[in-house]
Amino acid sequence: MNEIARQLNDTLEDTIAGELFSARGRRMYFPRGIVAQSAEAKKDAHRLNATTGIATQGGQPLFLSPIIAHVPQLEPAEIFSYAPTAGFPELRSMWLREMVGKNPSLKGRKTTLPAVVSGLTHGLTVLADLFVEPGDTVILPDLFWGNYRLIFAERMEARIHTFPFFSEEQTLNLSALADLLASVDGKVILLLNFPNNPTGYSPSTEEATRLLDLLAEAGKSGIRLLLICDDAYFGLFYEPDIYPQSIFAEASDLHENILAVKVDGATKENLVWGFRLGFLTFASPGLRSEDAVFQALTQKVLGAVRSSVSSSSTLSQSLLLEAMRSPIYAEEKQRVFAILRQRYQRSREILDSPKGPLRVLPFNSGYFLCFDAAAVGAERLRQKLLKEEGIGAISIQDRYLRVAYSSVDVEKLEELYSTIMKVASQMC
């Protein structure tokens, strides 16, 4: 094992992170190689810097004029240079401040400084690299984003266990989750995604309180739990009774046996889907709140980032940073939120009294809603909608039809839903 990795493991020994690491995670480290030496040179090489493998002239990166012509307000270094492996320091700090502002329970609690990753999928893959072994238990609701299976089951060979997302009363099925947690011991990875993809459901304040209570009980029972909060759609809450924070906020100080990690990003929150920018933030009372421990955990993350994508896009980070500095940033986010909320409200109006063989699952947030299409078969329905009506939707498990109302103008929603209902009725 590399000596740097050994030193990081020693620092993290007897912490919840150290206990949860996979063999790969224990081997991971951030090398004191080209990247680290170049960072040192950037600060201290006041005469000449011959470290980083980029082409420069007069201290600025060389570039092609047809490229820079499209981003004339940025400096060449803000476009073409390599970004630090952890991301721009100012962007990381601003993201943390915004995170605490949106999650007041985090105020005064210690977290790692968010590390930039190349999108949420990359963030989840970094977590899988650090913490998931073949055969490990990964718990998901039965309605989950399909990429989780690719990452955790196919890439990492973990065993996925699911619980019914909704109860018979069409509420969050916390008793099923509690039963599943009670049936396992040792190390467990629990991945929760609110607002949920594919259903577009987020817990009420009462449900979130009960969820946090059962997680605390799991920690007390001796389970060592990696709690992954996939907050890709965070903040897109359309009803007043929805729990207004990420589960990560309270879970960050829930129990020493729980390592909470927030996987979020600009993708949906800032409408930059193609930028591929996400963040990883960790917290737990089981990290001892020592700076050295938090730094060691971050070094492990940076090793996983360095060995996969090296660093995230400089241009994407520069543009996001400029947006977050803008005096109209908050106003613009509210403008777009209002558009999405209007589409949600119109969908709710149309579907409150649906007719036909389809049942709408509970939804209150995010981008999506789901129809239970068991009576007709979701894949058959999808094919007929696509080939006969020119309407696209997603079939899941051949039972559920996911509709992204986020991508349909509000005046077209009635046409969308009426056509789906018509075709489903014809199939009976």
Positive or negative, the CA dihedral 155, 158, 159, 165 is negative
Q: Which of 345, 359, 355 is nearest to 410 (CA)?
A: 345
pLDDT of 44: 66
Domain spanning 330-427: CATH superfamily: Aspartate Aminotransferase, domain 1 (3.90.1150.10)
Q: Which of 2, 34, 42, 71 is nearest to 306 (CA)?
A: 34
pLDDT of 39: 67
pLDDT of 354: 65
CATH topology of domain 3-30+85-325: Aspartate Aminotransferase; domain 2 (3.40.640)
Q: What is the pLDDT of residues 174-211, one digit of tens each?
A: 999 999 999 998 999 999 999 999 999 999 999 999 99
Strands 60-61, 56-57: pairing is antiparallel
Tokens of 9: 């493991």
Q: What is the pLDDT of residues 7-36, one digit of tens each?
A: 999 999 999 999 999 999 999 999 986 666
In the predicted structure, residue 156 carries a pLDDT above the cut 80: yes
Q: How many CB atoms lie within 10 A of CB 359?
A: 13
Positive or negative, the CA dihedral 145, 313, 100, 218 is positive
Query: What average pLDDT does this structure show over 133-161?
Result: 97
pLDDT of 283: 98
Q: How many CB atoms lie within 10 A of CB 397?
A: 12
Confidence of residue 260 (pLDDT cuts 50, 70, 90): very high
pLDDT of 35: 66
Q: Which helix (H) or strand (E) holds 402?
A: strand 400-404
Query: What average pLDDT does this structure show over 67-71?
Result: 92
Positive or negative, the CA dihedral 10, 19, 133, 261 is negative
Q: What is the pLDDT of residues 110-140, one digit of tens each?
A: 999 999 999 999 999 999 999 999 999 999 9
By the 8 A CB rule, do 411 and 382 touch? no
pTM comes to 0.95
- Percent of the chain at pLDDT > 90 equals 90
- Domain definitions of the chain by residue range: 3-30+85-325, 330-427
Residue type, 125: T
Looking at residue 158, what DSSP letter applies? P
Confidence of residue 356 (pLDDT cuts 50, 70, 90): confident
Residue type, 242: I
Tokens of 288: 């001892």
pLDDT of 184: 93
Query: What average pLDDT does this structure show over 284-295?
Result: 94
3-state helix, strand, coil in the chain (%, to 5): 45, 15, 35
Partners of 280 in beta bridges: 115, 263
In the predicted structure, residue 225 carries a pLDDT above the cut 70: yes
pLDDT of 69: 93
